[in-house]
């Protein structure tokens, strides 16, 4: 074999081996999301500190039902892992020994990165260990060839992380529409043209961090469960919560006994539920009736907004309604009535203990909520039930992405921290 051919073959083999190594590394960085209330000892202790800190060890024992010995062991491990810190300045006067020193979440050195990949825009969000949003940017979701789109998405995430010099990134969470394979990190997203798109592996290779992926509606239900104001009531062993989402797409998720129910084959769909409205296009299907796109198309047809241009947006339709445009008001009222009927149908089918709605179709036009409730009351056959609007309002997408990046750290803080630091 000529030397030049041998050299080329060797170089090709080296590149193939390097690619295989990167692929294997990425695979090991894909971690199924944990959208559930922590029940292991370390997770319970960390949760008590997150929700009630600064907090003394004996109070943690009372709050969690764990023995003081178990609490002491877990607190020590969490201190060693860097997830908790002591507050000696808050120690009880006259008390002796470290167990009397309160502890709190050591949030300042760390962040997690969340991405909500929407049909039109992608939100990139930095979140601290409390689940608070530190910063968020929105960018158009890359279109076209899926490999180029994923490379662009990963590049945007990498550039965003490079801005955070004083905080160490621990985890990446992705919330996306379509069908998400949480075990492999691959996504089928028909509206983006993605088929078996390796979203997780590409991000893992680019960022060198553990990556978790979840269906975006599951993620939003997880945010309600783990970060919402009524977390404790939704997390009891027998409690069920139904989360209904509507914006450009529609979807639902169930939380059962403190855990978001995520079928292995992916979430079910409500896009084809029957929905009758000639005003909103007459398609007979829920998603193509109540989506922002459907409302905007109807508004253009009625000349509420121009046929195209920068003023032809759903925001302009909302402004027209608030300015007293009767046609715009009727369009949004019609969507509210259709949504209320759909929520009633789902409630009657599943009969959850808690009923939550989220997405801009609900939250961006609160004036329509009484009509949602009225249509719900007229349609349901199971009697009156309160409908609760998501805790996060128009921030629900970023909250969902954030909780996917935090779920593993909340469920198994010590193990997840070891994995995050080993990957970095």
How far is residue 83's CA from residue 419's CA, in Å, rounded to a whole number?
Answer: 14
188 plus 246 within the same structural domain: no
CA distances from 344 to 72, 82, 326, 378, 379 (A): 48, 46, 27, 9, 6
CB 354 within 8 Å of CB 240: yes
Within-domain flag for 267: yes
The closest of 57, 45, 119 to 83, measured between CA atoms, is 45
Within-domain flag for 407: yes
Those residues whose C-beta lies under 8 Å from the C-beta of residue 20, and which sit 6 or more positions away, are none
pLDDT of residue 262: 86
408 plus 298 within the same structural domain: no
370 plus 242 within the same structural domain: yes
Q: What is the CATH number of the domain that holds 346?
A: 3.30.420.40
How far is residue 262's CA from residue 255's CA, in Å, rounded to a whole number?
Answer: 9
pLDDT of residue 119: 86
pLDDT of residue 264: 76
How far is residue 32's CA from residue 17's CA, in Å, rounded to a whole number?
Answer: 27
Within-domain flag for 58: no
How far is residue 377's CA from residue 337's CA, in Å, rounded to a whole number?
Answer: 11
The closest of 114, 108, 36 to 405, measured between CA atoms, is 114
How far is residue 112's CA from residue 403's CA, in Å, rounded to a whole number?
Answer: 9
State the DSSP string of 181-234: ETTTTEEEEGGGTEEEE-HHHHHHHHH-S-EEEEEHHHHHHHHHHHHSTTHHHH
pLDDT of residue 323: 96
313 plus 339 within the same structural domain: yes
To which H or E segment does residue 171 belong?
Answer: strand 168-176
CA distances from 232 to 34, 239, 300 (A): 17, 10, 45
364 plus 343 within the same structural domain: yes
The closest of 212, 128, 174 to 397, measured between CA atoms, is 174
Both structure tokens of 382: 């199971």
Output phi, psi for 31, to 5 deg.
-125, 125
CB 347 within 8 Å of CB 313: no
268 plus 412 within the same structural domain: no
Tokens 């997408």 locate to 397
To which H or E segment does residue 189 belong?
Answer: strand 186-189
152 plus 249 within the same structural domain: no
237 plus 364 within the same structural domain: yes
Within-domain flag for 317: yes
The closest of 21, 412, 422, 23 to 210, measured between CA atoms, is 422
DSSP helix, strand, coil percent of the chain (3-state; round to 5): 50, 20, 30
Within-domain flag for 47: no
128 plus 185 within the same structural domain: yes
CB 342 within 8 Å of CB 275: yes
CB 188 within 8 Å of CB 128: no
pLDDT tens for the chain, 424 residues long, are 555 544 444 555 555 655 554 555 455 599 999 999 998 999 999 999 999 989 999 999 999 999 999 999 999 999 999 999 999 888 876 555 555 789 999 999 999 999 999 988 999 999 999 999 999 999 999 999 999 999 999 999 999 999 999 999 999 999 999 899 999 999 999 989 999 999 999 999 999 999 999 999 999 999 999 998 644 444 555 689 999 999 999 999 999 999 999 887 777 899 999 999 999 999 999 999 999 999 999 999 999 999 999 999 999 999 999 999 999 999 999 999 999 999 999 999 999 999 999 999 999 999 999 999 999 999 999 988 899 999 999 999 999 999 999 999 999 999 999 999 887 6
246 plus 354 within the same structural domain: yes
User: Into how many domains does the chain fold?
Assistant: 2
CA distances from 389 to 105, 113, 167, 211, 224 (A): 29, 26, 33, 29, 10
Within-domain flag for 29: no
pLDDT of residue 99: 58
pLDDT tens per residue, range 211-227: 999 999 999 999 999 99
To which H or E segment does residue 226 belong?
Answer: helix 216-227
pLDDT of residue 3: 52
Within-domain flag for 79: no
- Spell out the SS3 assignment of 317-346: HHHHHHCCCHHHHHHHHHHHHHHHHHHHHH
Within-domain flag for 283: yes
pLDDT of residue 422: 82
384 plus 239 within the same structural domain: yes
Which domain, by its residues, includes 384?
233-390
364 plus 346 within the same structural domain: yes
Both structure tokens of 264: 């292995």
pTM (predicted TM-score): 0.87
List 139's β-bridge partners, or say none: 122
């Amino acid at each position: 074999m000529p030397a030049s051919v041998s050299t080329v073959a060797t170089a090709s083999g080296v590149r193939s081996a390097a690619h295989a190594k990167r692929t294997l590394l990425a695979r090991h960085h894909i971690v199924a999301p944990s959208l559930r209330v922590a029940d292991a000892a370390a997770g319970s202790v960390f949760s008590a500190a997150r929700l009630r800190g600064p907090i003394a060890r004996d109070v943690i024992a009372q709050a969690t039902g764990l023995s003081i010995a178990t609490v002491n062991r877990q607190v020590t491990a969490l201190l060693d892992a860097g997830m908790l810190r002591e507050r000696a300045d808050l120690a009880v006067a006259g008390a002796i020994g470290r167990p009397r020193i309160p502890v709190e979440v050591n949030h300042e050195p760390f962040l997690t990165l969340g991405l909500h990949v929407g049909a039109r825009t992608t939100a990139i969000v930095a979140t601290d260990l409390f689940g608070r949003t530190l910063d968020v940017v929105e960018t158009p979701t890359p279109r076209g060839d899926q490999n180029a789109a994923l490379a662009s998405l990963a590049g945007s995430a990498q550039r965003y992380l490079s801005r955070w010099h004083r905080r160490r990134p621990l985890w990446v969470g992705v919330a996306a529409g379509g069908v998400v394979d949480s075990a492999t990190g691959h996504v089928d997203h028909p509206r983006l043209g993605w088929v078996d798109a390796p979203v997780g592996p590409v991000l893992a290779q680019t960022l060198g961090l553990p990556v978790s992926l979840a269906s975006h509606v599951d993620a939003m239900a997880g945010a309600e469960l783990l970060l919402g104001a009524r977390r404790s009531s939704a997390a009891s062993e027998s409690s069920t919560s139904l989360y209904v989402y509507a914006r450009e797409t529609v979807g639902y998720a169930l939380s059962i006994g403190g855990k978001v129910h995520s079928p292995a084959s992916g979430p079910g769909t409500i896009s084809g539920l029957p929905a009758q409205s000639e005003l909103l296009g007459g398609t007979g299907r829920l998603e193509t009736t109540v989506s922002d796109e459907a409302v905007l198309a109807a508004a253009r047809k009625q000349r509420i907004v121009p046929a195209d241009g920068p003023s032809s947006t759903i925001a302009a339709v909302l402004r027209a309604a608030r300015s007293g445009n009767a046609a715009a008001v009727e369009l949004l009222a019609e969507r509210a009535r259709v949504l209320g009927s759909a929520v009633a149908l789902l409630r009657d089918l599943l009969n959850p203990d808690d009923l939550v709605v989220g997405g801009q179709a609900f939250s961006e036009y609160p004036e329509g909520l009484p009509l949602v409730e009225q249509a719900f009351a007229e349609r349901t056959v199971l009697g009156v039930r309160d409908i609760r609007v998501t805790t996060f309002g128009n921030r629900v997408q970023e909250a969902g992405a954030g909780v996917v990046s935090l779920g593993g750290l909340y469920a198994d803080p010590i193990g997840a921290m070891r994995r995050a630091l080993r990957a970095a």
